[in-house]
């Protein structure tokens, strides 16, 4: 009987280090070629499995796979595609099983957030019912840092570093011009229901008067009057006010400050535009000249300033996922465990996918100052080690050099699939 093959896919919003996890998966699998045949990567995530578009990673050189470690975004393509329940759309699950059977895939490693862990868990349960057991391992990934159980999520440390550096540099810019020009700067960062990214920007403030002066979290209901008082105080005290606002900032009734009115593929409210909303409010109520910026994709694609800790952890969870699978573990996800002690150290743990799927972890209240506009020393101790260390990509002619894949597809064995 031929050796079992492995299917790896990337899902959801990509990060600066998700490819480091892919590198960990593929390099580790190659070291166990006596037990693992080919490693297939789904073209555009789980959609690649449904369409039977399987990238044969054996066609890539060791050097190219190694280069994934310093390459941002999703090298194989990602997707926002959530499988419905088995009862609502059995055909999709059956298609996955048919593709896995056709290519003797017995290992399924899904690199993503809570929705992705839910998918991996569902496939694991169905495969047992179908009599074609597939070992399913989740690999954590999300810049939002909102997966439960794991201390932090690969992808977060690098975006945290990016926003802290960005608000520090922008703050210096505004401070130098505020006497006769801009007095308020607003930077919008990601974070739908959890303010981890916005909170990490607080690391830039090391002494009184440093930017950011105000952070708006999803966990703290927005109060217009207290916010405007704080803005006015900062301008009077420091000459300017630098604000970081999470895209998920909301009112006391739960309504987002910036609700774009649509839904994404996972059914989440489409957000965006909270920075200009806040900036316009300041202008209208206080009359200050302002500028605003949206970090958007830049914050999650910035591999040139990635956290060394984040890169190491992203690779480690990819490596651990293969090792878990070979050890016979199923429906679990490697986690990052922070060891106790004053010196930061970590190790790999594990969590059941059923305990991770569709659960969001907000920032603890004791990480946010009493006034709701900053981070506490407890938060600072949590965030600080996650952004430490530099892991620069190689440069050529002044530009970073990233992996370029051949992306050779395996020959299809089944009829084309059409979504239902």
Task: Determine which one of 115, 118, 144, 391 is catalytic.
Answer: 144
Widest distance between CA atoms in the chain: 76
Cα dihedral value 134, 155, 185, 262, nearest 10: -10
Q: 35-39: long-range contacts at Cβ-Cβ below 8 A with a sequence spacing of 24 or more?
A: 35/3, 35/4, 35/326, 36/3, 36/4, 36/5, 36/6, 36/107, 36/322, 36/326, 37/2, 37/3, 37/4, 37/5, 37/6, 37/104, 38/5, 38/6, 38/410, 39/5, 39/6, 39/8
User: Is 144 annotated as catalytic?
Assistant: yes
Distance CA 151, CA 205 (A): 23
Instruction: Kindly report the number of other CB atoms within 10 A of residue 379's CB atom.
Output: 21
Q: In a 3-state reduction of DSSP, which class is residue 129?
A: helix
Residue located via tokens 């009987």: 1
Residue located via tokens 């260390």: 389
Task: Give catalytic residues, as residue numbers.
Answer: 144
């Amino acid at each position: 009987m031929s050796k079992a093959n492995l299917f790896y896919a990337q899902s959801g919003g990509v990060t600066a280090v998700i490819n480091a996890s892919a590198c960990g998966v593929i390099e580790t699998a190659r070291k166990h070629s006596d037990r693992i045949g080919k490693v297939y990567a789904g073209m555009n995530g789980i959609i690649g499995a449904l369409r039977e578009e399987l990238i044969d990673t054996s066609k890539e050189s060791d050097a190219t796979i190694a280069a994934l470690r310093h390459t941002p975004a999703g090298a194989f393509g990602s997707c926002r595609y959530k499988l419905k329940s088995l009862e609502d759309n059995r055909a999709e699950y059956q298609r996955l099983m048919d593709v896995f059977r056709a290519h003797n895939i017995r290992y399924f490693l899904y690199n993503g957030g809570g929705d992705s862990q839910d998918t991996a868990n569902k496939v694991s349960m169905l495969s047992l019912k179908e009599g074609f057991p597939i070992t399913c391992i989740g690999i954590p990934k999300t810049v939002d840092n909102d997966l439960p159980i794991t201390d932090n999520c690969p992808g977060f440390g690098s975006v945290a570093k990016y926003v802290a550096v960005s608000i520090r540099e922008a703050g210096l810019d505004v401070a130098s011009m505020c006497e006769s020009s801009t007095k308020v700067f607003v930077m919008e960062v990601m974070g739908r229901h959890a303010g981890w990214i916005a909170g990490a920007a607080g690391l830039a403030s090391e002494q009184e008067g440093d930017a950011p002066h105000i952070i708006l979290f999803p966990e703290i209901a927005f109060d217009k009057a207290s916010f405007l008082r704080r803005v006015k105080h900062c301008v009077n005290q420091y000459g300017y006010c630098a604000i970081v606002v999470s895209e998920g900032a909301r009112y006391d009734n739960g309504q987002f400050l910036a609700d774009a009115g649509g839904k994404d593929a996972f059914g989440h409210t489409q957000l965006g535009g909270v920075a200009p909303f806040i900036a316009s409010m300041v202008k209208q109520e206080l009359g200050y000249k302002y500028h605003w910026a949206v970090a958007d994709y830049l914050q999650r694609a910035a591999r040139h300033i990635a956290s060394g800790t984040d890169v190491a952890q992203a690779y480690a969870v990819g490596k651990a996922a293969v090792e878990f699978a070979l050890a016979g573990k199923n429906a679990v996800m490697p986690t990052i465990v922070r060891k106790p002690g004053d010196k930061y150290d970590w190790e790999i743990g594990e969590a059941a996918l059923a305990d991770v799927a569709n659960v969001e972890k907000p920032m603890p209240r004791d990480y946010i100052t009493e006034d709701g506009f900053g981070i506490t020393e407890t938060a600072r101790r949590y965030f600080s080690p996650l952004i430490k260390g530099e892991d620069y990509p190689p440069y050529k002619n002044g530009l970073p050099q990233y992996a370029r894949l051949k992306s050779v597809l395996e020959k299809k064995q089944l009829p084309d699939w059409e979504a239902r």
